[in-house]
Amino acid sequence: MLRRFLLLLSTVLGLIVSPALAQTAKPTPKPAAPVRILALGTSLTQGYGLPPGTEFPVQLQAALRAEGINATVVNAGVSGDTSAGGLARLDWLLADKPDAAIVELGSNDMLRGLPPEQTEKNLRAILTKLRGAGIPVLLAGMGAQRNLGPEYVKRFDAIYPRLAKEYGTLYYPFVLEGVALKRELNQADGMHPNPAGVKVIVGKMLPLVKQLVARVKA
């Protein structure tokens, strides 16, 4: 008899308590969406001549995730692209709503001997669009080949630090830092990094990319 009473009592109490517990229960939060980083650039970003899976965006994404940073790096590199080409593609790329951007453009302008003022105008337009969309930027710089003459070199090399200061972007002065002119880190053409060269670039740029992600979260 006592056992039946206690069983009945526990059932009644369960009916009384369960709704209260249901009201205080909190839903399991959804995992945060990955930070989407737009990598807008040339063949150096696109991965010219590289085996699939060793391109800059792929290696950078893997490096970020190894650091516990949930990020997706979107490969928006086009081999041979100029600053004008990058600007022409930008509106379409922004429709995908990236959270941050790495801008690596201008090297092909320089190789074609285009006026530095034209390159700067295009890059300024790109940075203005990104700023208007509230997207933090890491600007990757390039240096002019010295055989173009001291006047051209002076005008071209001044573009990137000037724009980085003007727009308050994060700034990586030379995208091929630690890789340029090193045979073991480049493909046979001597201009494009091999997988090991890309790994060096990613490792050197990673601290700034982490700051870029922090700007997104801020």
Distance in angstroms (rounded) separating the CA atoms of residues 2 and 14: 18
Query: So what's the pLDDT on residue 103?
Result: 98
Q: Where are the domains of the chain?
A: 35-217
Query: So what's the pLDDT on residue 91?
Result: 97
**SS3 of the chain: helix, strand, coil, percent, to 5:** 55, 15, 35
* Least confident residue range of 30-39, 40-49, 201-210: 30-39
Query: So what's the pLDDT on residue 22?
Result: 45
Query: So what's the pLDDT on residue 214?
Result: 98
Query: So what's the pLDDT on residue 25?
Result: 55
**pTM of the model as a whole:** 0.86
All residues at 6 or more sequence positions from 145 whose CB lies less than 8 Å from its CB, including other chains: 110, 111, 153
Q: Which two tokens stand for residue 77?
A: 């590199």
Q: Which two tokens stand for residue 214?
A: 């922090």
- Summarize pLDDT for 82-138 with one digit per residue, the tens: 999 999 999 999 999 999 999 999 999 999 999 999 999 999 999 999 999 999 999
Query: So what's the pLDDT on residue 76?
Result: 98
| Bridge partners, residue 34, by sequence | none
Q: Which two tokens stand for residue 42?
A: 């040339």
Place of tokens 């209260």: 20
| Chain-centre distance for alpha carbon 146 | 29
Distance in angstroms (rounded) separating the CA atoms of residues 209 and 167: 17
| Bridge partners, residue 100, by sequence | 37
Architecture of domain 35-217: 3-Layer(aba) Sandwich (3.40)
Active-site residue numbers? Answer: 43, 189, 192
Distance in angstroms (rounded) separating the CA atoms of residues 207 and 179: 17
Query: So what's the pLDDT on residue 23?
Result: 52
Confidence of residue 9 (pLDDT cuts 50, 70, 90): very low
Helix (H) or strand (E) holding 214: helix 195-217
